[in-house]
Structure 1
Amino acid sequence: MPRAAWLIGPALVAGVAYLDPGNVASNMTAGAQYGYLLVWVVVLGNVMAWLIQYLSAKLGIVTGRSLPEVLGGRIHNRWGRRAYWLQAELVAMATDLAEVIGGAVALNLLFGVPLIWGGLITGTVSLVLLVLQSRRGPRTFEFVIMGLLAIIAIGFTVGVFVAPPSPEGVLGGLVPRFADANSVLLAASILGATIMPHAIYAHSALSRDRFATRRGEQAGRAGGAAGAGGAARVGRVGTGGAASSGQRSSFAKAGRLISAHSMGFGIRRGTDVAPELLPGTATALPTDTLVRATRWDVSIAMAIAGTVNLCILLLAAVNLAGVEGTDSLEGAYAALGVALGPAIATMFAVGLLASGLASTSVGAYAGAEIMYGLLHVRVPLILRRLVTLIPALAILALGFDPTTSLVLSQVVLSFGIPFALIPLVSLTAKAGVLGRWKNHWATTAAGVAASVFLITLNGVLLWLVFTGA
């Protein structure tokens, strides 16, 4: 039996998405403008995030497929699948926008690097981390991201210990309420930054890559020879024993080679979707063990992310409320330097830099998985990285306010939540997808409630925007 600690990791990597520069901008702005008012939004978002990330990880472990892969196999209409991919891709690009801009701002604050060059440096470092993931495997990638996560946590929380918040203010902020239309906008921004659509897509893929038996290796062992021999070999890998006749029929699909043809520029399209395995047969380790371990994994990751996000809001509420010029990251950095000293301000900037570097790597990973799972197209990392950098670099080059761009990007993310969340809750409630690991009715009910709440909030936000309220 493997040590449980060795199974921890995928949720910590996915959890970096909850600590990206968009979170920093949204929470800092909320704290500076409204004090403790929106504490409840951060807490509620983190509770919902736990449930959502657990469901995503469970889907990847039990099926051996990511959420985009499962949807790509179930959306049979070509144009419907492309439309779904387009909205998911736009969400991934909005994510990348926030992360690259945040890294650029941090480099500018720390070293005076021009924003456009800071964006290029951030994108380049993220590419290096992705190459590390592809060459050295998921475990090495996890260790690097967890190291950056530790830097993020220290950089963003130390100021709260230097200038602690009011306990009465924190408790008062737990009462759900809004002050005006702008507070609703910020609440949607916080939720968009806390419950990240690309993190939902990425977590299922991270769990698949870490725990699921590689289907390509299964196909190689089969050697193209379909039938009981190849099926039996796959059955032994997935279940530790002989496969039943139903399993042999399903595993026979795993023996098919997945061919691909070149589309130019190194882009490749698969001519067959990845083979579908029976629920619970995708991992060499017992699925029950992995599902239990992932609950701990998600709990640890969300505890870290929730605490750091809350500390960012409280740091702003205590030190930046009513201070002029704190509606930007640059202004917040300067104000923190005045209020708490240059050391605290520098640690904040270092945390922001680590946040941008780590989260943009996870975002690019999610974007690649979205494209492959839905369109069965793989794009080289360099080409994809260059394409997704364009919007962020354009905003930096044109001189748009970085903090405003960050906050608005999180609002875009909030509108992508239902498209990821509703299919996730629906699929994990089906016995045909997860078998005996399907959701308990109470889990499904909680997922539905979270979906309704998020969709309603987004609807209110749309009404406020279009009516000018």
Structure 2
Amino acid sequence: MTDCSLGYKLASMRDGMATLAQPENGTELPGGRRGRLANVMRMAGPAFVASVAYVDPGNYATNIQAGARYGYALLWVVLLANVVAMFFQALSARVGIVSGRNLAELCRDRYPGPLVIAMWIGSEAAAMATDLAEFIGAAVGLSLLMHLALLPAMGLTAIVTLLLLTLQNRGMRPLELLITGLVAVISLSYLMELFIVPVHWGQAARGSVVPTLPDGEALTLCIGLVGATVMPHAIFLHSSLTQGRVPMRSDADRRRMIRFSNREVLVALGIAGLVNMAMVVVTANFHGGHSDIATLEGAYRTLTPLLGGAAAGLFLLSLLASGLSSSLVATLAGQVVMQGFVRFRIPVTLRRVVTVLPSFAVIACGVDPTSALVLSQVVLSFVLPVPMITLLLVSRDPAVMGTFRLGGAGLALHVAMVMVIVALNVALLAQTAGLLPG
């Protein structure tokens, strides 16, 4: 049993969360007849934690630009990206359930030492780049909400996230519940936005299913929307959250857990996808008269006179919840990556301090916050193919997955998705380097 799974079980016992093996009182794994609701409530969490990566401030920036510049025309891209994310998060959870190990640990045992070190460094860079986006996004929301300068807001955000991370001392479950609650705040905020802002539902439905590219710049934005959707740290973290979560006595147990996990992924990432589409729908009101909106602050400033103070306030509330929750997830993912690849662990507070320092440096140097968000997505583009391809290799290995190995049509579908994502990321990098026209 790994340190991670042992720590989780001890924490769960301390929190009064009984295991989901089938004890004498009749509690069964999800899918059993008795105690089903209680079991579902105990098991729910991993997919909702991972879904935070898909409603982070980086998504806000790209969705705002998509809606403001092209109205409903790029909704199909958001939908497609979310479907791809569902498949890979479900596959990551499947690996954790079947093998009892997370993706970073499996990489450590399968590959040569120098390659493992390189993968660890790249994954840490991705986690820090992601954390930069999350932290700055939360700070922007807090600064606008409380009318503070950005640097003091960043300091206050750092203190708040450190306090929230102390919940991990009581086990993973309280932190999972907190993050799920913050996801609920984001979702409800945008649900209320849809009742406040005018929406052309017919155009939105058409934009969701009819692929269109209005111009060359739309292609660039599509690359950003899709290429930055499947987050490297979310893939690593999801396999860790499902490993050893429930004692597995047989393949039948594993099948039931996989079915439960797939349903949770469908619900959690479905909600995240709807939130992303709602962002585009809300900011589509900028299209035409305010299509030059390109920053988080600009979107807020424009929302107030255009749609009212309530819409602007809900936008800031959701942005703050997004930044805080995704920042917590990025920190946890960094811990999983370090422990899995190199068997080393540092206090989570120290990791948090180290990962926020680059954010302060970037803003202190006068870099625009939205530009910093875009830069972080470019860094992620370099690392993204590694966990995706590694996950596929592990998933099709019978030594790891046994009868649950990925093959046939499922493997072909995942490979096609990887090829699309890699091609789009290569195009994004080439365009960033000036090798492709805008």
Structure 1 window deviating more from structure 2 (93-102 vs 324-333): it is 324-333
Is the Cα–Cα contact under 8 Å of residues 320 and 326 in structure 1 kept in the other structure? no
Match of 1:219 in 2: none
**CA apart distance, 1:46:** 0.6
The code of the aligned residue for 2:170 comes to R
8 Å contact kept, 1:66–1:201: yes
Counterpart of 2:174 in structure 1 is: 140
Contact kept in structure 2, 1:156 and 1:308, CA below 8 Å? yes
Matching residue of 2:358: 391
Aligned to 2:86: 50
> What per-residue deviation string (whole Å, max 9, x for no partner) do you get for residues 376-407 of structure 1?
21122122111111111112222211122213
* Alignment equivalent of 2:221, drawn from 182, 186, 195: 186
Partner of 1:220: none
Task: Tell me how far apart the structure 1 counterparts of residues 236 and 332 of structure 2 sit (CA, whole Å).
Answer: 10
Moved more, 166-175 or 325-334: 166-175
Equivalent-residue separation in structure 2 for 1:104 and 1:92 (angstroms): 18
Question: Could you give the per-residue CA deviations for residues 222-253 of structure 1, whole angstroms, max 9, x where no partner exists?
Answer: xxxxxxxxxxxxxxxx538xxxxxxxxxxxxx
* Contact 2:129–2:379 (CA under 8 A) maintained in structure 1: yes
User: What is the distance in 2 between the residues matched to 1:308 and 1:321?
Assistant: 23
Name the residue aligned to 1:28. 64
Instruction: Confirm or deny: 8 A CA contact 1:320 1:336 kept in the other structure.
Output: no
Q: Percent identity?
A: 41
CA contact (8 A) 2:223 2:427 kept: no
Calculate the aligned-residue CA RMSD, in Å: 2.0
Deviations 1:296-343 (A, max 9, x none): 110110110000000001111123543166211111001111111111
Q: 1:206 to 1:389 in 2, by over 3 A?
A: same
2:146 aligned to which of 94, 111, 119: 111
Structure 1 pair 107–320 and aligned structure 2 pair: CA distance change class (3 A): farther
Q: Measure the CA separation in 2 of the matches of 1:195 and 1:441.
A: 23
CA contact (8 A) 1:91 1:412 kept: yes
In 2, Cα distance between equivalents of 1:196 and 1:421:
9
Q: 1:408, CA displacement in angstroms?
A: 3.0
Paired with 1:441 and 1:149, the residues of 2 have a C-alpha distance of: 35
Which residue of structure 2 aligns with residue 175 of structure 1? 210
CA deviations 1:72-116 (Å, max 9, x no partner) are: 11112x221111112111111110011000010001110012212
CA distance in 2, matches of 1:152, 1:185: 27
Larger radius of gyration: 1
Q: Which residue of 1 aligns with 2:12?
A: none
For 2:60 and 2:67, locate their aligned partners in 1 and report how far apart those are by CA, in whole Å. 11
Match status 1:204 vs 2:239: yes
Report the equivalent of 2:336.
369
Query: Given the two structures, how large is their TM-score scaled by the length of structure 1?
Result: 0.81
Aligned amino acid, residue 64 of structure 2: M
Q: Are 1:343 and 2:295 an aligned pair?
A: no
CA, structure 1 residues 185+157, in 2 after alignment: closer, same or farther (shift >3 Å)? farther
* Kept after mapping to 2: 8 A contact 1:325/1:332: no
88-97 vs 395-404, which deviates more? 395-404
Matched, 1:70 2:80: no
Q: Which of 238, 248, 266 matches 1:299?
A: 266
Query: Do the aligned residues in 1 keep the contact of 2:56 with 2:322 (CA within 8 Å)?
Result: yes
Letter in 1 for 2:101: R
3-state SS in 2 of match to 1:200: helix
Structure 1 residues 462 and 67: CA distance shift in structure 2, 3 A: same
User: Which whole-Å deviations, capped at 9, do the CAs of 1:331-390 have from their partners, x for residues lacking one?
Assistant: 100111111111110111011001111110000000111111112211221221111111
How many Å apart are 1:10 and its aligned residue? 0.7
Q: 1:459 to 1:193 in 2, by over 3 A?
A: closer
1:119/1:404 CA distance change after superposition, 3 Å: same
Q: 1:83-122 to 2 correspondence within 5 Å?
A: 83-122=118-157
Distance 1:8 1:71, change over 3 A: same
User: Residue 129 of structure 1 corresponds to which residue in structure 2?
Assistant: 164
Mapped to 1, the partners of 2:375 and 2:69 lie a distance apart of 16
> Quick one: structure 1 residues 203 and 406, their matched pair in 2 at CA, closer, same or farther if it must change by over 3 Å?
same
Q: Is the 8 A contact 1:368 1:378 kept in 2?
A: yes
Q: Distance in 1 between matches of 2:382 and 2:213?
A: 20
Provide closer, same or farther for how the CA distance between residues 164 and 410 of structure 1 changes in structure 2, counting only shifts above 3 A.
farther
Contact 1:188 1:411 in 2 (8 A): no
User: CA separation in 1, counterparts of 2:131 and 2:144?
Assistant: 20
Instruction: Give the letter for the 1:462 counterpart.
Output: L
Distance in 1 between residues matched to 2:85 and 2:430, nearest whole Å: 25
Change (3 A) 1:92 1:181: farther
Q: In the alignment, what sits opposite 1:449?
A: 416
Q: Post-superposition shift, 1:164? A: 3.8
Answer whether contact 1:181 1:464 (CA < 8 A) is retained. Answer: no
> Unpaired segments of 5 or more residues in structure 2?
1-27, 30-35
Q: Please show how residues 308-387 of structure 1 align to structure 2 within 5 Å.
A: 308-323=275-290, 326-387=293-354
Distance in 2 separating the partners of 1:137 and 1:115: 33
Q: Structure 1's 193 and 125: CA in aligned 2 closer, same or farther, altered over 3 A? A: farther
Q: Which residue of 2 aligns with 1:428?
A: 395
Q: SS at 1:377's partner residue?
A: coil
Give, in whole Å, the separation in 2 of the partners of 1:428 and 1:434: 6
> What TM-score do you get using the length of structure 2 for normalisation?
0.86
Q: 1:313 to 1:412 in 2, by over 3 A?
A: farther
Q: 1:467 is paired with a residue of what secondary structure?
A: coil
Cα contact 2:186–2:322 (8 A) shared by 1? yes
The alpha-carbon distance between structure 1 residues 336 and 79, as it changes in their structure 2 partners (threshold 3 A), is: same
Taking a change above 3 Å as real, the CA distance of residues 411 and 161 of structure 1, as seen in their structure-2 partners, is farther
Deviations 1:166-203 (A, max 9, x none): 23432442333434443233223222442111110111
Residue aligning to 2:256? 289
Amino acid at match of 2:188: I
Gaps of 5+ in 1: 214-237, 241-279
**Matched pairs, number:** 399
Deviation, 1:468, is 5.3
Q: Which amino acid aligns with 1:42?
A: V
